[in-house]
Amino acid sequence: MVKEMDLNKIKNIGIIGAGVMGPGIAEVLAIFGSSFDFNINLFDISSEAIQNAQKRMEVDFAKVESVGIFSSEDLQIARERIHFISDLKDLKDSHLIIEVIPEKIDLKQNFFKKIEDIVPSTAILATNSSGLSITEITKVTRYPERCIGTHFMNPPLLMPLVEVVMGAKTSDETVSLMTDLLTNVNKRPVLVKKDIPGYVHNRLQAAIFRELMYLVDNEVMDVDDLETTVRYGLGLRLPVMKVFEMVDMMGLDTINNVLSYLYPALDRSTKPPEFLKDMIHKGTLGVKSGIGFHDYSSKDMTESMKEKEAATFQLLMMMQQYD
């Protein structure tokens, strides 16, 4: 099935879900996929979700225009590539579907069963799941070889990384097609060759979070000092030095000695710490409640995130010299 498809034949793309990620993915394809002239249909059953998505997208397009890389004329053409729909049947001519619905296996399975009866048998079916099994999600399909994971990072318009995740039956042709597409829309696709829980990015995050929680729980260091340790130690190196390059710089014999005595001392908990549950029970949920490990009650988080996104963009520009 997949062998009949190539990148130049992908014109109609359906994105399912106008929540947090869907509109951003649509923007990426519309703006950076200009040479392919994609026709992008963003689907949601909620008219309110579509209206909110339209408002957010106007803000995003304004941000992109302010950077000066694209002209206002180019961005207007990109806007016109995106259409908002509420009927799945309007996706019947799709060459690619990217599903961005809530992280529940049954919801995703039901969607894939339904969409497979609507789109052509050659269409690629992708899920933006951030950690659920691609094999499990797509086992209900007739053609699992054309199914794949495409885990975009949030916000999609800014973050370059996309994990391309293989299910047990995903074909090499499907992998090649999605990797080529993502590369051509200015993303940095990485191939996850085994369908493991959390894929890779979230596993790395979780490993760091687990050790940080352990250090807080055991009163080894205060939160502010932990923040300083991560940001001005490891975090400061990573934008300009590759992780395994750091290992090479240390010397493999040295790192082997360090890990030999350090590994047994690292946290190996298989569930979150009790103090985290206590914080949640007290309503201390982070930004959404105004306080978590830090106090956000007096901050305008919308403005703060705008500043952080601008700083991240500048950092990305700098990082390119060290690739």
- Evaluate if pTM is beyond 0.85: yes
Q: DSSP alpha helices (H): ranges in 139-242?
A: 172-184, 201-217, 223-229, 235-237
Domain segments of the chain as ranges: 2-192
- Integer Cα distance of 39 and 270 in angstroms: 45
Q: What are 253's two structure tokens?
A: 């014999």
Structure confidence at residue 6 (pLDDT): 78
Condensed to tens digits (0 to 9), the pLDDT of residues 196-221 reads 999 999 999 999 999 999 999 999 99
* pLDDT confidence bin for 12, thresholds 50/70/90: very high
Question: Which segments of the chain are extended strands (E)?
Answer: 12-16, 39-43, 82-85, 96-99, 124-127, 147-152, 161-165, 188-192
Structure confidence at residue 1 (pLDDT): 42
| Statement: residue 129 has pLDDT above 90 | yes
- CB within 8 A of 46, min separation 6: which ones? 18
Structure confidence at residue 9 (pLDDT): 84
Q: What count of Cα atoms within 13 Å lies in the side-chain half-sphere of residue 201?
A: 20
157: phi then psi, degrees, rounded to nearest 5: -65, -30
Q: Which residues, in sequence order, are bridge partners of residue 163?
A: 151, 190
What percentage of residues in the chain have a pLDDT greater than 70? 98
Structure confidence at residue 2 (pLDDT): 43
In this structure, of 164-173, 254-263, 302-311, the range with the lowest mean pLDDT score is 302-311
Structure confidence at residue 5 (pLDDT): 57
- Integer Cα distance of 202 and 50 in angstroms: 28
DSSP class of residue 231 equals: I
Condensed to tens digits (0 to 9), the pLDDT of residues 100-112 reads 999 999 999 999 9
Condensed to tens digits (0 to 9), the pLDDT of residues 52-103 reads 999 999 999 999 999 888 999 999 999 999 999 999 999 999 999 999 999 9
Structure confidence at residue 321 (pLDDT): 86
CATH fold, domain 2-192, is Rossmann fold (3.40.50)
